[in-house]
């Protein structure tokens, strides 16, 4: 079944993509096109409304027909502190949120807001209110506390909170108001047999368990449905098997039961958030299609879903095959807020494609503002005045950038966009630096997009020259005679075993590092990888070598493999894959020494010693900046700026941001204190 669409297409666009720019009606409102930025966290929350408004406004400027907020709490009993979330607890919240709606409307897009109650998933660490749930149950937030069971008076109050928040959202100017039944939050807790064994009218048969959800939709439509569309965000599959909601079972039944009630269906998968925002390492583009494709066959209302869509052809296919009516996106809209505009203008080759690394998710999980590997300007729109497509021209000068990895490419591109005469010298015959190596690891092939997009865009700038296969010494740089020198010479892995937990150098005469493995060093006998960095490298190398047929043991001081990837919502997938492949895990273990055919380990808690047979030891610990050239230039009296890993070894996202910040500030006064929003008291 196809919802009503209205004709409309921009002349000059690629005809194959015209269907993406058709208007689509959603209840009483009409989206100008099919690009739908679904709700996603920013880490900005109620404390930084101006930054949030600027971020969403840039999305609308970039052509997204619908731009939604992050989750917005409807009551103090749904407090997600310390993470960034919005609030509509009282009338004092209306004006700050109106700024976001206004910023979205300024560019002709519809503004959506995701009303949220976390139930047993809300921490309530700020408000200190008891958690609420269908039944008495332990908090789902890994806290030693318990949510209390809601009685009928609680349910009546909850329905009023949803209604009041919807009315406030309408007063703030939002066009689409959400009922949120996904990601293990309160309405889904009522819906699922896993969390609802009530014996009253809100428990038991599916019709009863769906009663609260039906009432929420009806209450919201009654409150605001005259002028606002009411969207239902529903997890149609919890991915917990038949005990939970599944797309073949009760997920399908719920859609059939409520088919025509909401004005729009926003459907996804649930369980842990990592299922819905699964990284590219563990999923392809459009990976949710198998679970959500049935929805359009059961409703005449428009449907939106997500799947990390970056290809216009895939987007068109989703529409033409009747999978959905909108192209839902969170991460792709972060990586390139101007993705729709580029497709509309015939510049699809310039799309800054999401690499699916989930650095954006890590920011939210740390309680920090949003960051992105591909787009260094995200969440800097208000704080630093950065725009993803515009950068101020600089006074004429020549700049030599040494190093063609992520930081060097970003520096050369951004300086070139400012009009400077830029020369990029890379010692290897191929551009990319660390990206060439890391994108060769299992599941990380999309990471090469960091290199490809920048190299492609540099190719469009006549004022940027690129010279691969050009190693530069300090004397070479002096002879070159550029006005300014930028060093992006990267980092190297440590050989002394110093990492996050182990702070003392170890005698490891025969140990290798990831640099050696990528360079083709021979690997013999049982392999032991000591991972004291805890991001992707240790686990990905273990997977690579196991797939090559080696016996592999991963040793880590932490209690889980690749523990930092919990912040990118990947840790469970990493550990499951390693175990499935037969990688032996030595958890909570320290490396203490190396012998000719074994390594010595110690329990990280008790110090109990043991040995593990080892033919090849690989250290994934800390990294050191490759800054020799910087010291050599200083000895010659030549000033040079460092960016990326040669200044501070870190993630690719941080390397790109470092270089972009340098390029933005180039030629100006030293940057001052970051612009900050100081929260002010708001009362009703």
Residue 436: enclosing H or E segment and its boundaries?
A: helix 434-438
Would you tell me the crossing angle of helices 536-547 and 571-581 to the nearest 10 degrees? 20
Between strands 484-487 and 641-642, the pairing is parallel
Between strands 303-305 and 641-642, the pairing is unpaired
Closest CA to 129 of 83, 76, 90: 76
Residues whose CB falls within 8 Å of the CB of residue 122, separated by 6 or more in sequence, listed in order? 73, 77, 78, 79, 80, 131, 141
Please report, for residues 198, 304, 361, the alpha-carbon distance to residue 258 in angstroms, rounded to integers and kept in the order given. Answer: 21, 16, 31
Structure tokens at 343: 């497709």
**185 an active-site residue?**
yes
Place of tokens 């990380």: 444
Half-sphere exposure of 235 (CA within 13 A, CB side): 28
Closest CA to 415 of 482, 490, 336, 339: 482
User: Computed over its alpha carbons, how large is the radius of gyration of the chain?
Assistant: 26
The per-residue b/e assignment along 535-545, b for 16 or more CB within 10 angstroms, e otherwise, is: bbbbbbbbbbb
**Distance separating alpha carbons of residues 468 and 409, to the nearest angstrom:** 12
Structure tokens at 171: 């007063």
Q: Of 36, 178, 185, 202, which residue is the catalytic one?
A: 185
C-beta separation of 279 from 357 below 8 A:
yes
Total residues found in the chain within this entry: 684
- DSSP letter at 127 equals T
Half-sphere exposure of 589 (CA within 13 A, CB side): 22
**Distance separating alpha carbons of residues 147 and 131, to the nearest angstrom:** 4
Report whether the peptide linkage leading into residue 329 is cis, meaning its omega lies within 30 degrees of zero.
no
Instruction: Give the residue numbers annotated as catalytic, written as ranges.
Output: 185
């Amino acid at each position: 079944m196809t919802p009503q669409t209205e004709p409309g297409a921009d002349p000059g666009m690629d005809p194959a993509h015209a269907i993406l720019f058709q208007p689509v009606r959603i209840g009483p409102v009409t989206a100008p096109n099919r690009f739908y930025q679904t709700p996603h966290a920013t880490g900005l929350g109620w404390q930084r409304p101006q930054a949030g408004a600027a971020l969403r406004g840039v999305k609308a400027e970039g052509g997204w027909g619908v731009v939604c907020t992050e989750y917005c709490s409807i009551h103090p009993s749904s407090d997600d502190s310390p993470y960034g979330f919005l609030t509509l607890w009282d009338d004092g919240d209306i004006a700050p949120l109106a700024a976001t709606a206004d910023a979205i409307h300024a560019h002709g897009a519809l503004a959506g807001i995701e009303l949220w109650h976390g139930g047993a998933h809300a921490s309530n660490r700020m408000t200190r209110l008891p958690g609420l749930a269908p039944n008495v149950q332990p908090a789902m937030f890994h806290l030693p506390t318990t949510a209390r069971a809601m009685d009928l008076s609680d349910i009546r109050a909850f329905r009023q909170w949803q209604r009041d928040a919807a009315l406030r959202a309408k007063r703030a100017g939002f066009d689409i108001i959400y009922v949120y039944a996904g990601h293990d939050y309160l309405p889904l807790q009522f819906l699922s047999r896993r969390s609802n064994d009530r014996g009253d009218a809100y428990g038991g048969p599916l019709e009863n368990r769906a009663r609260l959800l039906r009432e929420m939709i009806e209450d919201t439509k009654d409150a605001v449905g005259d002028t606002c569309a009411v969207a239902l965000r529903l997890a149609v599959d919890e991915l917990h098997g038949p005990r939970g909601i599944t797309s073949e079972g009760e997920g399908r039944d719920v859609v059939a039961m409520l088919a025509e009630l909401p004005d729009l269906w926003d459907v996804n998968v649930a369980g842990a958030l990592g299922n819905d925002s699964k990284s590219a390492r563990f999923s392809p583009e459009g990976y949710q299609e198998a679970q959500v494709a049935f929805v359009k066959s059961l409703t005449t209302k428009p449907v939106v879903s997500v799947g990390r869509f970056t290809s216009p052809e895939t987007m068109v296919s989703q529409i033409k095959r009747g999978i959905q009516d909108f192209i839902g996106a969170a991460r792709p809209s972060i990586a390139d807020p101007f993705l729709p505009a580029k497709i509309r203008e015939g510049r699809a080759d310039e799309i800054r494609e999401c690499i699916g690394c989930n650095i954006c998710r890590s920011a939210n999980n740390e309680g920090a503002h949003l960051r992105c590997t591909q787009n260094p300007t995200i969440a800097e729109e208000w704080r630093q005045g950065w725009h993803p497509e515009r950068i101020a021209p600089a006074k004429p000068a020549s700049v030599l950038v040494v190093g063609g990895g992520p930081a060097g490419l970003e520096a050369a591109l951004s300086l070139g966009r400012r009009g400077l005469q830029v020369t990029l010298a890379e010692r290897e015959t191929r551009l990319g630096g660390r990206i060439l190596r890391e994108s060769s690891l299992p599941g990380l092939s999309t990471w090469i997009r960091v290199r490809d997009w920048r190299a492609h865009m540099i190719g469009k700038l006549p004022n940027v020259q690129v010279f691969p296969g050009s190693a530069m010494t300090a004397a070479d740089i002096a002879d070159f005679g550029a006005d300014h020198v930028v060093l992006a010479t990267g980092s190297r892995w440590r050989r002394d075993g110093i990492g996050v937990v182990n702070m003392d150098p170890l005698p490891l005469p025969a140990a290798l590092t990831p640099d050696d493995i990528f360079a083709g060093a021979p690997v013999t006998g049982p392999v032991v990888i000591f991972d004291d960095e805890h991001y992707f490298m240790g686990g990905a190398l273990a997977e690579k070598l196991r797939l090559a047929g080696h016996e592999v043991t991963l040793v880590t001081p932490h209690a889980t493999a690749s523990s930092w990837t919990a912040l990118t919502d990947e840790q469970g997938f990493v550990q499951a894959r390693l175990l499935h492949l037969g990688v032996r895990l030595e958890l909570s273990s320290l490396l203490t020494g190396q012998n000719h055919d074994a390594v010595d380990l110690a329990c990280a808690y008790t110090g109990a010693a043991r040995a593990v047979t080892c033919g090849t030891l690989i250290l994934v610990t800390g990294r050191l900046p490759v800054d020799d050239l910087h010291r050599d230039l200083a000895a010659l009296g030549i000033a040079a700026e460092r960016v990326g890993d040669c200044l501070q070894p870190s993630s690719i996202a941080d390397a790109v941001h470092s270089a972009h910040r340098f390029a933005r500030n180039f030629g100006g006064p030293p940057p001052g204190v970051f612009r900050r929003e100081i929260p002010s008291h708001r009362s009703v």
